Amino acid sequence: MSSSQSTPQESLQAINNRTLGTSADSFPVVTLPGGDQVPTGTVGALLVNIRAYDAAAAAGDADARDTLARAIRAAVPVLQRVGMFDLFRPDEWTSDRSQGRTLVGQTAAAAAAAAAKEQS
């Protein structure tokens, strides 16, 4: 695939590498037993982005929050495919101490509701 084309996994892979300060090949895309391709480093990058989102929210930095919200939302589909929200349900992410965690939970819940609606 040429570098001018991008897939959701490649986009998230770039986010993960940028967030974690690593080179482009540090966290490759891997194929899970079911055939899904997911970028590695997603959970680590999510944790960093949640902390940064919380700091931006506390500082009132709306631009940083918007940028970080996009990165957090980009991770949710991959986390759904690997079963993160089977282990920790979306409502368990909601926290009065962390707006970033709450964003993850809200995004996952909305995605699950949209998927359920599509199936009905």
Split at pLDDT 50, 70, 90, the class of 8 is: low
The share of the chain scoring above pLDDT 70, in percent, equals 92
Residue 3 lies in a domain: no
Mean pLDDT calculated for residue range 86-112: 96
Q: Kindly state whether residue 55 falls inside one of the protein's structural domains.
A: yes
* DSSP line for 1-13: --TT---HHHHHH
Would residue 7 count as lying in a domain?
Answer: no
**pLDDT at position 25:** 75
- Any domain includes 33: no
- For residue 52, tell me if it sits in a domain: yes
Distance separating the N- and C-terminal Cα atoms of the chain: 35
Task: Please tell me the predicted confidence (pLDDT) of residue 3.
Answer: 35
Domain that holds residue 51: 38-119
Q: Give the predicted TM-score (pTM) of the model.
A: 0.84
Mean pLDDT of 99-112: 97
Compute the distance between CA of residue 91 and CA of residue 57 in angstroms, rounded to an integer: 20
Look at residue 28 in the predicted model and tell me its pLDDT.
Answer: 84
Count up the domains in the chain and report the number: 1
The confidence band for 24, taking pLDDT boundaries of 50, 70 and 90, is: confident
In a domain, 86, yes or no: yes
Which one is predicted more confidently, 29 or 104?
A: 104
DSSP code per residue over 12-48: HHHHHHHHHT--TTSS-EEE-TTS-EEETTHHHHHHH
Structure-token pair, residue 110: 């909305």
Query: What rounded mean pLDDT belongs to the chain?
Result: 89
Asked whether residue 64 is domain-assigned, the answer is: yes
pLDDT, residue 29, reads: 86
